[in-house]
Amino acid sequence: MAGIMGSKSFVILSVVLLGQAGMFYGFSRKENIPSRLPLAEFTLTGTPWKNVQDIELSQDELDVLQADDILQREYQNQTSSREASLFVAFFDTQKTGKAPHSPKNCLPAAGYVPMQSSIVDIAVPGEAQPVQVNRYIVARGENQSVVLYWYQSHNRTIASEYWAKFYTVADSIRYNRSDTALVRVVVPVVNGDTDTAIKTATDFTIAFFPQLKQYLPS
């Protein structure tokens, strides 16, 4: 019995069953949609990172994502000239079947081949606990990139897709809320220097994380 309880299949099945129960419960009442600031108003101040381009998604891309608010920007570090992109997709509710698309699935669909993957902790000043994120090194053709991503809900940062679903159910039952955000950082690897790209992605995350929190409901 202990082996079954600890198996990955049992965990997945438990999450699915809890999800079905939670969504059934949630549909019986009107959901609480928290107020928030538009992501378009997000500014990154007091850091060496400067917004160099706002990227508009096509209608087809918006239709696939089904997010209630989206931010996609290119930033450049004015000290090192390093570049990084920030993507945030926010969902007011997941009750209607809308949910973040996992980069674990989207990146291969876009032609990126995962080369390395891990879950890492990033110490962010002001945060009681390190921020836990997924870190991927991906390749498309001869180009490589470092990708960091996580799910962020109610001042909670989650790397695992399974735990993200679990907390969606728990929050739906306890708080009558299922809002969440997918946050993704992409940094190109230049001249094969993966270590510098990882450091750039980490430093960028440390810079924007405290300010982005103000635009995501607590």
How many Cβ atoms from other residues are within 10 Å of residue 203's Cβ? 18
How many Cα atoms sit within 13 Å of 48 on the Cβ side?
12
Going by pLDDT thresholds of 50, 70 and 90, the confidence category of residue 1 is very low
pLDDT per residue as tens digits for the range 73-109: 999 999 999 999 999 999 998 887 788 888 888 888 7
What integer pLDDT is reported at residue 139 of this predicted model?
Answer: 95
The answer for residues whose C-beta is within 8 angstroms of residue 199's C-beta and 6 or more apart is none
pLDDT digit string (tens) for 36-59?
999 999 999 999 999 999 999 889
CA distances from 201 to 76, 111, 146 (A): 11, 21, 7
Highest averaged pLDDT of the listed ranges 2-6, 16-20, 85-89: 85-89
Query: For residue 87, which of 13, 174, 183, 15 has the smallest C-alpha distance?
Result: 183
Q: At what angle do helices 161-175 and 8-26 cross, to 10 degrees?
A: 30
The type of residue at 62 is L
As given in the structure block, the two tokens for residue 21 are: 């129960």
**Which residues 6+ apart lie within 8 Å of 134 measured at CB?**
103, 104, 117, 118, 119, 147, 148, 149, 150, 159
168, 180 Cβ separation under 8 angstroms: yes
Give me the percent of the chain exceeding a pLDDT of 90: 57
Q: How many domains does the chain have?
A: 1
The boundaries of the domain holding residue 164 are 2-215
pLDDT in tens, 151-182: 998 889 999 988 998 888 888 888 899 899 99
∠ at Cα 50 (129, 106), nearest 5°?
65
